Structure formats: C-alpha cells, structure tokens
Amino acid sequence: MKLTEKEVRHVATLARLQLTQEEEATFGGQLSQILDFISALNELDTTNVEPMSHALDITNVYRDDAEDGKFPADSWRANAPSQDFGHLRVPKIIEG
Amino acid sequence: MNDICHMTLHELMAAMDKGEVTSAEAVEAYLGRIGRIDPELNSYVTVDAEGARKAAEEADKRRANGEKAPLLGAPMAIKDLMATRGLRTTCGSKILENFVPPYDSFAVKKLKEAGAVILGKTNMDEFAMGSSNETSHFGPVKNPWNMDKIPGGSSGGSAAAVAADLCAAALGSDTGGSIRQPASLCGIVGLKPTYGRVSRFGLVAFASSLDQIGPMTKDVRDAALLTGIISGHDPMDSTCAEEPVGDYLSGLEEGVEGMTVGVPDEYFIEGMDPEVESKVRAAIEILEKKGAIIKRISLPHTKYAVPTYYVIAPAEASSNLARYDGVKYGYRNMDADGLFPMYVSTRNKGFGSEVKRRIMLGTYALSAGYYDAYYLKALKARKLIKRDFQKAFENVSVIVAPTSPAPAFGLGEKVDDPLKMYLSDIFTISANLAGIPGVSVPCGMTKGGEPIGLQILGSYFQEASTLKAARALEKEIGFTSEKPGIGIQTG
C-alpha cells in the first residue's frame, strides 16, 4: 500500500490540515508503512463476526432537553479566541 | 520532617490522622522538592502553588474541626487532560496551551470531594498520543531512574512525578497502555480500570471507546484506595457503567492461595528483553509458591491487537479532534484570511506531528472506499480479541504478563520511527480493546538499574482480584522501599 502525494493531500484536506511539502513527503512514507502493517488484519477470517464498537453492552442514554444552569455561557466564552457582543467572532464566511 | 515526600498516600493520611504532619507542611515539602527536581525532570506542566496552599489550609481547618474524609489534605497530581476548574488544562498541546476549564472533570471532582489537594497538572504526550512522553508541546519528561531515558507515555509526567516523590499519588489515563506502560518503566503501580468504571466526563477525548482514567501510585494499597474514590456512575458520561463500586481495600491482603492465574504464551515473544522475561517468570513462580494455581493459556489473536488499535484509535481521534477549529476555544491563527484558511492553519500550527499523523491515519481509514477494509475489519478483529479474553476468564481469575517488552528506552531513540514506537504498547493494547482492567506492578530491576513491571489483567469489573494478586507480589518483591537513583533521596 503506497499512498501517493495526491492521496496525502486529499486526506489532509478532509482532515482540515494544511501540510507543508516536507510533511506531505514524510507522512506519505510513514502512513504507507503503517497501513502495510495494519494489512495483517486481512489474514483474519471475520465471516459472521459482529463488529464491536464498545467494550460494554451499552445503549443510548436520554435526558430531558432542559437547561440546568450549571454552565453559564459566559464561563465558556471566556476561552474563545475572539468574541464580540456575547458572540464568537470568526473570519468572514460569505464572500461578496 | 524529611520523609513526608517519600510516604505512600495511605502512610501520609495515617500520619495526618495522628496529627504528626499537616497538609500545609506536606504541600510545602512537595513544592520545595518540585522546585529542586522538576526543572530537569519536567514532570509538571503547571504547578498550582497558590491553589494548593489554600486547599491545604482549608483541609487542615476541616481536620481540626474533627471532619473526616479519605483524602483530606492529600497532595496529588493530575494528568493534564482532566479538566480542573480555573486551572489550565493543556493536554500537552499548543492548541490548548491557554485553555482554562470552567468546570472539574468527574474524577477530579471526586478527589476534591474526598479532600485531596491538587498540586498541579502533569506533563504528557500531546493528546495522549505517544509511548515516551516526547510528543508533548512542553518538552519531554525524563525517567527519574535514569535521566537519559524516557519515562514511558502517555502518562509519563504522572509516572515520573510519583516515582520521584513529587506528589503523594497521581491520576493518569490509559487508551492503549498509557497508565500501565509508564508505571512499569518508572517503577510504580498503575491501574487501568474496566472501561466505564470511571466517568470520562471532563477527560479530553482521544479515543472514546478506549480511554479510561486510573490511579498511578507508590503502592498497591494506594491504587485500591483511589480506585474506590474515583469510580462510580455519572449521568454526564453515557458510557459510564452502572455496576456498583467494589470494595477494593478489605480483601487486599487475602493473598493468592487457590487463585488461578493464567500465563498467556503470546506474551512471551521472540525479541523481548531477556531480563524482562526472567523477572516476570520469577514473579510468576512467587505467585505459585504463595499458593496460586498457574495455568498456561492462549490468547490467539494477540498479534492483531496493535494493527486493530492503530485503525480504531486514530479513527476515533480524527473525529474527536475535529472540534479544535479555532472557533470556540483554544489556539487560533489570527493571521489567516477567510474561514477555511483559518481552520487549516490553526490546526496545522496548533497540533504537533504525531497528532497530525494519527488524524491523517484515522481520516484515511474512515474515508469513502476504505471504511469497510479498515475500520469495519478492525471492529471485527476487536471482537475476536475480546472473545479470547472471555474464553480465558472461564478458566482463570487473572492473567499475568509483562507490561512492556523492554525497560525504558533512550530519549530520542524511537521518535523518527512511528511504527517502532507503536510496538512499545504491544502487551498493553489488548486490555483496552477488550475493555478489561489491568494493573502494572514493579517486579524487579534490570542490571542497569531500570525498573521492570508486570501487569495483572482481570475480567470485567474484577479490579479487586487484580489488586489482590498485585499486593501479594508487592509483599514478596518488596520494591516499594526502592527509590529513584538520581541523587534526590533526601529532602
């Protein structure tokens, strides 16, 4: 399994990462090597084996969609990189 | 009183109960020692001297008023990925360098309710991704036994701080061995509880189906004490178990007479360090001498654990770490023009290489056309690994195996070879995939003076049996009196 530079760039875009050329080259090689290692899983016969996404048998837990007042918005906004008028500020989203 | 820092947590609590030492004295002793030793060791990211002094004073007042609490005045350290109200929580990353949580994680809240004093936050691999503590944005931690070696990871700061007597005990977290492997390499005790035993509320998420918080301590009794305190159901974590919390202390001294102990063939492999193998084998003989029934067992899918993990953990991480986008909290690249450039440049500058590598790997495994081949396949392999353990536990109470295939390796030795680094966790990862508990305890030293650990794995919610077996070994091997050999014994 050899990842091409184009594939590395595509995955980086999906992951919202902007890699330098150097990183692209290093990661391409390293990821290919790791994927080769992972391909050992293909030796396993997994016919009729149920996929396991959790260690315990758990089901969804629900609660009422009600305010509990434990976490006032101010306390969260204190960590925002940029804010104004009680809102988070982000760069312009719509061009024009 | 010179030896406050060298006491175990339960010894210190007993001394406080008897009025021999106050929390304020203990905190001063630890702060002084941190000031002398930690500039080189680098086990803490943040030391909260002011907060600790205040909390200690409060604890001493409460004690004077006749109040009782199991950790009243105990100076502890917390791995820097558990939210601490008003105290920055970096997760070893630049992207959270200035993040100050407005709430306490469940485990920290439990410790505080029990009276503990938080000395500070310990260093760790960035986002808990690493086996050597070298991926931290705040620089590598060193091994207190040998400053040229790594302490293990990702809870390397907690392990080093406990081993160097820079706190009475610490909390860590374990996704693929991150409590047990550094505990083993630093010569301390570390327990990863059953998945769901301790709430993950307020734990910065790495791989949500694998992450588990646990104690890192100077002896087995301390681990049992802390496990009882931080466990329990929490409605804030939907994956937290409702299973009642066990009594981990009362049966601790019962010994291993009649206990069936499994020794898996697959955990004694070619290429492992011969000194590690011989010390672990010697410990198994001790258990047998103490009345345990030793059984050779097989966990046939062991060799698939690392490849399975390196699909599942990065896949979950790539999804969990999508939240770091420079909008709500954390670092933002202020120079970027436009939203998309802001996202990508924030993430590129905010994350280190190993985190980016794993996000890439996970994104690839989940991307269109590869999901079935990688992610679904790994989930099925995970089931086979779990079945191995379920079958084994039909015949044995606990399983004993080495924690790490080798003692601590050199700083810088594996940083350029991710795959080699990943294989450091070859013996610890299976327990996370299956979700079972495991405790690492020291079982000797190499000729070069580095600690060797072994792990005792138990079935679901059988923490008490693993601790009991660990205690039986601890008593015979008597490692708790050994202290790091870096000229820091006094004061």
- Which of A17, A35, A50 comes nearest B383 by C-beta? A50
Q: Are B87 and B122 in contact (CB under 8 A)?
A: no
What is the reported pLDDT for B488?
46
- Structural tokens at position B307: 């490849």
pLDDT tens for chain B, 491 residues long, are 448 999 999 999 999 999 999 999 999 999 999 999 999 999 999 999 999 999 999 999 999 999 999 999 999 999 999 999 999 999 999 999 999 999 999 999 999 999 999 999 999 999 999 999 999 999 999 999 999 999 999 999 999 999 999 999 999 999 999 999 999 999 999 999 999 999 999 999 999 999 999 999 999 999 999 999 999 999 999 999 999 999 999 999 999 999 999 999 999 998 899 999 999 999 999 999 999 999 999 999 999 999 999 999 999 999 999 999 999 999 999 999 999 999 999 999 999 999 999 999 999 999 988 999 999 999 999 999 999 999 999 999 999 999 999 999 999 999 989 998 999 899 999 999 999 999 999 999 999 989 999 999 999 999 999 999 999 999 999 765 555 554 544 43
Is B235–A61 a contact, with Cβ atoms under 8 angstroms apart? Answer: yes
Is A35–B364 a contact, with Cβ atoms under 8 angstroms apart? Answer: yes
- Which of B334, B345, B374 comes nearest A38 by C-beta? B374
> How far apart are the C-alpha atoms of B303 and B307, rounded to whole Å?
8
Catalytic-labelled residue, pool B23, B43, B105, B154: B154
pLDDT tens for chain A, 96 residues long, are 688 889 999 999 999 999 988 999 999 999 999 999 999 999 999 999 999 988 888 788 888 899 888 888 888 889 999 999 989 999 988 876
What is the reported pLDDT for B489?
44
> In sequence order, what DSSP letters do the residues of B8-26 get, joined into one string?
-HHHHHHHHHTTSS-HHHH
Write the class of the CATH domain B4-252: alpha beta
The answer for B 449-478 residues in CB contact with A (under 8 A) is 460
Closest Cα of chain B to A69: distance in Å? 13
- From chain B, the residues in CB contact with A57 under 8 A are none
- From chain A, the residues in CB contact with B364 under 8 A are 3, 7, 11, 31, 35
> How far apart are the C-alpha atoms of A72 and B173, rounded to whole Å?
28
- pLDDT per residue over B105-155, tens digit each? 999 999 999 999 999 999 999 999 999 999 999 999 999 999 999 999 999
CB pairs under 8 A between A and B: 172
- From chain B, the residues in CB contact with A88 under 8 A are 327-328
Q: What are the extents of the domains in chain A?
A: 5-36
- Pairing relationship of beta strands A87-88 and A83-84 according to DSSP bridges: antiparallel
> How far apart are the C-alpha atoms of B156 and A51, rounded to whole Å?
33
- From chain A, the residues in CB contact with B307 under 8 A are 37-41
> In sequence order, what DSSP letters do the residues of B280-327 get, joined into one string?
HHHHHHHHHHTT-EEEEE--TTGGGHHHHHHHHHHHHHHHHGGG-SSS
Q: What are the extents of the domains in chain B?
A: 4-252
> How far apart are the C-alpha atoms of B152 and B149, rounded to whole Å?
9
- From chain A, the residues in CB contact with B377 under 8 A are 41-42, 44, 46
Closest Cα of chain A to B372: distance in Å? 11
What ipTM was predicted for this assembly?
Answer: 0.95
Whether B79 is catalytic:
yes
The amino acid present at B203, given as its one-letter code, is: L
Is B329–A63 a contact, with Cβ atoms under 8 angstroms apart? Answer: no
Hey, how many other C-beta atoms are within 10 angstroms of the C-beta on B266?
18
The answer for B 24-63 residues in CB contact with A (under 8 A) is none
- Cβ of B307 under 8 Å from any chain A Cβ? yes
- From chain A, the residues in CB contact with B318 under 8 A are 15
- DSSP class of B415: T
Find, in chain B, the residue whose alpha carbon is nearest to that of A92. Answer: B338
Report the Cα–Cα distance between both ends of chain A, in Å, rounded: 44
Closest Cα of chain A to B102: distance in Å? 6
- Structural tokens at position B428: 């610890």
- 3-class secondary structure, B176: coil
- pLDDT per residue over B196-206, tens digit each? 999 999 999 99
Render the burial of B337-355: b for 16+ CB within 10 Å, e for the rest.
eebeebbbbbbbbbbbebb
Is A79–B310 a contact, with Cβ atoms under 8 angstroms apart? Answer: no
Is A93–B339 a contact, with Cβ atoms under 8 angstroms apart? Answer: yes
- Which of A7, A8, A37 comes nearest B419 by C-beta? A37
CATH topology of domain A5-36: Histone, subunit A (1.10.20)
- Cβ of B328 under 8 Å from any chain A Cβ? yes
Q: How far is CA B193 from CA B157, B211, B224, B459, in A?
A: 19, 10, 11, 10
Q: How far is CA B46 from CA A27, A84, B88, B139, B286, in A?
A: 32, 30, 8, 13, 41
- From chain A, the residues in CB contact with B331 under 8 A are 81
> In sequence order, what DSSP letters do the residues of B69-130 get, joined into one string?
-TTTT-EEEEETTB-BTTB---TT-GGGTT---SS--HHHHHHHHTT-EEEEEE--SGGG--
Is A90–B342 a contact, with Cβ atoms under 8 angstroms apart? Answer: yes
Catalytic-labelled residue, pool B23, B178, B231, B459: B178
The amino acid present at B58, given as its one-letter code, is: E
Closest Cα of chain B to A91: distance in Å? 5
Is A90–B238 a contact, with Cβ atoms under 8 angstroms apart? Answer: no
